Amino acid sequence: MAAPCTYGKTLLKVEDVCLEYDGRPILKHVSAEIKDIIRPDCVQGQVVGFLGPSGIGKTQLFRIIAGLNKPTSGRVTINGENRPVQAGEVGVVAQDYPLFEHRTVMSNLLLAAGQKEKDSKVAHDKVVQYLNDFELLDKARLYPVQLSGGQRQRCAIIQQILCSDHFLLMDEPFSGLDLLMLEKTSALIGKVANMHELNTIIVVTHDITAAAAVSDHLWLMGRDHDSKGEPLAGSHIVETYDLVERDLCWHPQIITHPAFVDFVREVKERFRTL
């Protein structure tokens, strides 16, 4: 039986986004929507796994959702606002977790907090709270080079939470991780999402199993094909999967459940046709 929940307001909407370079379609009529998931007696954020083959246009859509690039037509909106998303409203956690190497962890995060909080004490208190929540308080005086990969990732996530509005895009957070670190990263994504009801994370990845394990919905990007089976120019979201409806999220050890294994196999088969 599916976990009980209802859907609230639309938090992020991709509306008929098209992108062309030199007259060649890159993205073609891309539409998608993320709604607030409301569960009784708990805070439930949203996690969407964004999948697709290399070169399919994920990075282009990623940058449009982040407000870093403008589409040829269409738009991305957040929180129901009647305007395109602006740079800085959606945090971006890049694959290499960029931080200012000449600043300490505390200094990096105070700089981020200052983008939204003009009161220095409020900014400092928020940074300390997040460092405590993410078990990094004892690393506050260290420099990025002194952090482990996992610590640096957590610091980069805090940085983006502090200066954005509940929205995070994560670029290949599972890349190159061993099994233990993959589990820790998945748990971290869930923790970040569930820190606030409106927190919304889009995870761009090639790892279908990891994406399915951490997400409540999946977007699969691909291209249409002509009568000869040849791919047509211009990518869009060809499939969306609702893991809530399938009762495949929010369960401990879901990755070993036979229904989950069958689902991942289904997605992989669809992936091969793109």
Phi, psi of 178 (to 5 degrees): -80, 175
Q: What does the angle CA 145 – CA 67 – CA 163 come to, to the nearest 5 degrees? A: 45
- 148-198 pLDDT, tens digit each: 988 999 999 999 999 887 999 999 998 877 878 888 889 999 999 999 999
- 13-61 pLDDT, tens digit each: 999 999 999 989 999 999 999 999 999 989 999 999 999 999 999 999 9
Task: Give residues with Cβ within 8 angstroms of 61, minimum separation 6.
Answer: 14, 17, 27, 30, 50, 221
Give the dihedral sign, CA 128/132/138/141: negative
Domains and CATH numbers, the chain: 6-89+167-272 (3.40.50.300), 99-164 (no CATH)
Q: In this structure, which amino acid lies at residue 182?
A: L
